[in-house]
Amino acid sequence: MTAPPELFASDPSSRVRPVHDEFHGDLLEVSMGPHHPSTHGVFRMNVTLDGETVVKLKPVLGYLHRNHEKIGEKASYLGSLPFTDRLDYFCSMTNSWAYALAVEKLTGQAVPERAEYLRVILAELTRLINHTCLAGFLLQDGGASGTPLMYAFREREKILDLFESLSGSRMMCNYQRFGGCRVDPSPAWLEGAQRVTDGYGAFLDEFESLLTGNEILMARTQGIGRLAPALAVSAGVTGPMLRASGVDYDLRKVDGYGIYPRFAFRIPLGDHGDTYDRYMIRILEMRESIGILRQALRDIPGGPCLDPGAKLRGLRPKAGEAYARIEGPKGEIGFYLISDGSPSPYRYRVRPPSFINLTLLEDLCLGHTVADAVVILGSIDIVLGEVDR
């Protein structure tokens, strides 16, 4: 759990120069965003600078607030499902899986075997999409203008084509249901998924030879934005960001939800918790995802993909509460539902990974330059649709 102390001995705030003396003058307050290409959407940070060093950083949220949770309390259980796609719009499949899981827990609905496999396949494809794009965006923030991002989007497009031919929509899939999945994939679709899986390793090799050994990338990311494991745990950080700090916590192993215990895969861990580790952890996770995909596509059984007795419309679960969480690509995404027996939940709460990971932004950025703050923000992997909800 705790990393060797010498790795985290240097306190970043010690690098802050003394201010208000005769040489350095006053602090400068800069408002970055909400419309700034580096802030991944409409995110604003009020940065206080001493020279070029960040001494204070205050995130300003809420520009994309859409009342998601209140809508969830007004809409029916089925009607909330398409809205969950719009939380983290890169990972609609995992968002709706987490929500479907919460409702299934509430009603005690069983899921057929084939749907469990499909969910794993789609979740791992989503992880590939998310991590590939994250790597592209992170490098864009680091100054690699365009090239890695376009390569990432080229590969992402192949998976989005799969999603479109299966669910009808590229990003807003609306595919998971309480008790399974909406459309049964054809054998041709599974072959297509197999093709994408087989080709992805070669793409990752190419992507890594473009970037991983790149001296500029290393200089921009190594030792930048170090996150101590103890701080990460106490702040509730989850996902690749936590594992990059060396904490072995992955819900796929810890909870073993769905059918994940059946697959053999490893959890990559970082040593330093810096931005470079956060980048590398995603590349390594993608390689593990490819392994899971191979196993799932090999073992997927036949049968129905939606429980024929599943009730979708006019669902009225018994009074009670349920919290279901899964390991989304960005971290633990959970849904908490309280039912009072009416057709819509009494309370509908989302536990968004991006938002909780973002709370550490100031701690990571203190003592670094403005340009580093942009790279650190990129490595946290936020999507504003989920942060603001």
Partner 1 sequence: MLGTGLLHGLKVTAKNLVGSFHDPARYVTTEYPEVKAPQPENARSFPFLVSESAADPMGTMRCVACQICEKECPPQCIYIEKSKDKKPGPDGRMQLYPAVFDIDISVCMSCQICVEVCPFDAIRMDQIFEIATTERFSALLFDREKLAKPNAYYHQLHPTEAAEVDARRQAAEAKTRAKAAKPASVQPPTAPGAKAQNPPGNAP
| Minimum CB–partner distance for residue 214 and partner 1 (Å) | 5
User: Which x/- pattern over 309-348 shows residues binding partner 1 (rule: CB under 8 A)?
Assistant: ---xx-----------------------------------
Residue among 48, 169, 222, 295 that touches partner 1 (CB under 8 A): 169
Distance CA 63, CA 43 (A): 7
User: Which region, judged by CB under 8 A, interacts with partner 1, from 6-14, 206-214, 260-268, 360-368?
Assistant: 206-214
Q: Does 52 bind partner 1 (CB under 8 A)?
A: no
Location of structure tokens 């005690």: 108
Q: Does 271 bind partner 1 (CB under 8 A)?
A: no
Q: Does 174 bind partner 1 (CB under 8 A)?
A: yes
Q: Does 82 bind partner 1 (CB under 8 A)?
A: yes
When the beta carbons of 182 and 325 are compared against partner 1, the nearer one is 182
Location of structure tokens 């990338």: 217
Q: Does 168 bind partner 1 (CB under 8 A)?
A: yes
Side-chain half-sphere CA neighbours of 25 within 13 A: 5
| Minimum CB–partner distance for residue 82 and partner 1 (Å) | 4
Residues contacting residue 351 through CB under 8 Å, at least 6 positions apart: 325, 332, 333, 334, 335, 336
User: Which region, judged by CB under 8 A, interacts with partner 1, from 14-22, 150-158, 358-366, 375-383?
Assistant: 150-158
Q: Does 154 bind partner 1 (CB under 8 A)?
A: yes
What is the residue-wise DSSP string for 28-78? Answer: EEEEE-SB-GGGSSB-EEEEEEETTEEEEEEEE--TT---HHHHHHHS-HH
Residue among 46, 165, 194, 222 that touches partner 1 (CB under 8 A): 165
Q: Does 374 bind partner 1 (CB under 8 A)?
A: no
Distance CA 207, CA 183 (A): 33
Residues contacting residue 298 through CB under 8 Å, at least 6 positions apart: none
Considering only residues 216 to 235 of the shown chain, the ones binding partner 1 according to CB under 8 A are 216-218
Contact 272, 295 (CB under 8 A): no
Q: Does 83 bind partner 1 (CB under 8 A)?
A: yes
Q: Residue 63's closest CA among 41, 86, 40, 82?
A: 41
